[in-house]
Amino acid sequence: MVIDWLQRHPRIVDWALVVVALATTVGAASRHDQTALGVSLAVIASLPLLLRRSYPLGVLAITTAATVAISVGWGYESPFPAAVALFTVADECERRVSLGAGVAAVVVLSLPWGHPAQGWRDVVGRVIGFSLAWVIGDSFGVRRRYVGALEERAARLEREREAEAARAAAEEQARIARELHDVLAHNVSVMVVQAAAASDVFDSQPERAREALTSIEATGRDALAELRRLLGVVRGEGAGYAPQPSLDRLDELVDQVRSSGLDVAVTIEGKPRELPAGIDLSAYRVVQEALTNTIKHAKASQAEVSLRFRPDGLDVAVRDDGVGAGNSDDGGNGLIGMRERVAVYGGSFNAGPDPGGGFAVSARFPLES
């Protein structure tokens, strides 16, 4: 707790070190001749410690010079400021820089400048003392840099996780937007056509109008059910709703389209096989979107849906005999959505006027053999 508090308040630590340094150096200098000069040198050796974090090498040079001057002029040791400066250099600087500066400072500080009579034991003692200050500072620096690297890595991983989550959310939003577009565009288009037909025969053929209204009701219920399912997925409540549509429900889709007045024929080639859920859904949506665009834009009377099961893929095609804009979708998102669905699975997609007339949409989904 105390260490954490001190790390959060480094300026208090610096001031405390300066107070201790002044107490040890100024007190000793005041007991010798030329007190004013000695005290001045003691202050010069101590006060720069306030800047030790910003200028570690400069503070080490000043404290070393002042310590040597005190030793030469007054013959007494004042090691504390220089030891703190050595610790700071080892803690703050790269090891290559701190090692060179530390060796030079230890050599200068350990020489018997003011004590020519001292023996080698005194020199060794000073070398050990100052070297120990550097070693402790180096260990602190290594630990601090290691913790900093861990924190940086954790922050980077958190940023990557947030970016991945945002990307996944964007993809899910795009998927849901495509699903909503498919549901609304198809069902509403069918309902509009049926409502128009009911209005045309309401007086002359009330039974046919009633059939159209019944079909509108059924289409609206299907649309509401799918919308509830999609919105349930958004709210995390999708488990209790109907499963995603697939080619197994193609007959229901075709019957719904036929009820709008468009004659739809379905042909299946090859042996039907179980498809991956995503491809099954995407193939269904391609057919649904193509038929929806035919109803909305093509002014067609007939359409043909063909599925071809190959050993290595599934081909889906929708053709109509329309004379209007067909599946151009008036610059909307229909063709874009179909192309994206197919591209997700590495397939190919084509849409354009059919050489035999009308408009054709084709998609190929690759499958494992």
Note the pTM of the prediction, 2 decimals: 0.44
| Angle at the Cα of 114 from the Cα atoms of 110 and 120, rounded to 5 degrees | 45
Maximum distance among all Cα pairs of the chain, rounded to whole angstroms:
131
Q: Helix, strand, or coil here: 203?
A: coil
| Dihedral of alpha carbons 244, 250, 256, 261, sign | positive
pLDDT tens column, 70-111: 777 666 667 888 888 999 898 888 888 888 888 888 888 887
- What is the model's pLDDT at position 134? 87
Residue 220, CA distances (Å) to 226, 256, 262, 327 in order: 10, 11, 18, 23
Within a domain: residue 252? Answer: yes
pLDDT tens column, 31-74: 566 667 777 878 888 888 888 888 889 989 988 888 888 777 66
CATH number of the CATH domain containing 348 = 3.30.565.10
Within a domain: residue 134? Answer: no
pLDDT tens column, 228-241: 666 665 555 544 44
pLDDT at 328 exceeding the cut of 60 = no
Rg (alpha carbons) of the chain, rounded to whole number: 42
pLDDT at 217 exceeding the cut of 90 = no
pLDDT tens column, 20-43: 888 777 766 665 666 677 778 788
What stretches of the chain show up as alpha helix (H) in DSSP? 2-8, 10-29, 35-46, 56-74, 80-92, 95-110, 120-201, 206-234, 250-258, 277-293, 334-344
- What is the model's pLDDT at position 241? 47
Number of domains in the chain: 2
More confident call, 343 vs 222: 343
pLDDT tens column, 344-356: 788 999 998 888 8
Within a domain: residue 172? Answer: no
pLDDT band at 365 (very low <50, low <70, confident <90, very high): very high
Within a domain: residue 201? Answer: no
Q: Domain of residue 274: give its range.
A: 245-369
- Indicate the residue among 95, 118, 141 that finishes a domain: 118
Within a domain: residue 149? Answer: no
- Indicate the residue among 103, 118, 133 that finishes a domain: 118
Within a domain: residue 163? Answer: no
Say how far apart CA 342 and CA 324 lie, in whole Å.
25
| Residues pairing with 305 in the sheet | 266, 318
More confident call, 191 vs 66: 66
Calculate mean pLDDT across residues 155-172: 80
Instruction: Tell me if 245 sits within 8 A of 283, measured CB to CB.
Output: no
Torsion angles phi and psi, residue 362, rounded to 5:
-135, 145
Within a domain: residue 159? Answer: no
- What is the model's pLDDT at position 75? 65
pLDDT at 5 exceeding the cut of 80 = no
Give the orientation angle of helix 56-74 with respect to helix 95-110, to 10 degrees. 10
pLDDT band at 331 (very low <50, low <70, confident <90, very high): very low
The dihedral over CA atoms of 222, 225, 226, 227, expressed in degrees to the nearest 10, equals 120
Within a domain: residue 202? Answer: no
Q: Helix, strand, or coil here: 323?
A: coil
Residue 256, CA distances (Å) to 194, 246, 249 in order: 10, 15, 11
- Indicate the residue among 118, 136, 151 that finishes a domain: 118
pLDDT band at 319 (very low <50, low <70, confident <90, very high): very high
